[in-house]
Amino acid sequence: MEYHDFREDDVLDMRGETTIWSERIIPIGLKLGNERGKREQVLRYIEAINEQLDWIRNNRGMIADMLVKSGMLSLAEDWISGAEDISEYDENEEPVKEIYRMEDGTEVALPLSERAFKESLRMDSISIDLAGGRENQTAELYLTCEPDYFAGHCIVLDLEKDGTMECRGLWG
């Protein structure tokens, strides 16, 4: 991204758009320091912003693995099992195939494989916090799933400059 790709925003200090993981264009929000000159701050930090975005682009697998380890796959299965049950049953009323219809109309079978969960992850938006300067830079990643396992909610993931991640659960 270039510094001129950002514009002032009412919610965050600056906002731009980029493509992550070869998907649709997503919003990128920037939180900057209190000093004057938001555009100048973007210009000063554009290299750090691009480094953060490149790290996210190049580490989809690591992000997905972390989300599985933090319990998001299990949580997805819990949410799925709360959807409309359209399972197939045998003559003894035992489920032959456990299937649920999600709010978006997609039919999902349980158990959900780790691979299916990881492949469902989509980046929804990213917020990069540079208010504490480049050395304290952090990011919040907002991810959704296709199919929509979490009924319109997104996964919130904190990302530190050194690549340390923490899943904060669902938002929305």
- The β-bridge partners of 166 are 158
Beta carbons within 8 Å of 100's beta carbon, 6+ residues apart: 80, 81, 83, 84, 85, 86, 87, 107, 108, 109, 110
* Residue 89: both structure tokens together: 């049953």
Q: Which three-class secondary structure state does DSSP give residue 171?
A: strand
Reference 86, options 73, 70, 100; nearest CA is 100
CA–CA distance, 60 with 15 (Å, rounded to integer): 23
Q: What is the pTM of this model?
A: 0.92
35 falls in which pLDDT band (50, 70, 90)?
Answer: confident
* pLDDT tops 80 at residue 161: yes
- The β-bridge partners of 8 are 14
Which amino acid is located at 53 in the chain? L
Q: What pLDDT is stored for residue 24 in this prediction?
A: 82
Residue at token pair 């975005």: 53
SS3 for 26-79 is: EEEEEECCCCCCHHHHHHHHHHHHHHHHHHHHHCHHHHHHHHHHCCHHHHHHHH
Beta carbons within 8 Å of 92's beta carbon, 6+ residues apart: none
Tell me the average pLDDT across 117-129. Answer: 97
34 falls in which pLDDT band (50, 70, 90)?
Answer: confident
* pLDDT tops 80 at residue 36: no
Phi/psi of residue 84, each to 5°?
-65, 120
* Residue 159: both structure tokens together: 């990302």
8 Å CB contact between 111 and 100: no
Q: How far is CA 140 from CA 8, 32, 80, in A?
A: 19, 14, 25
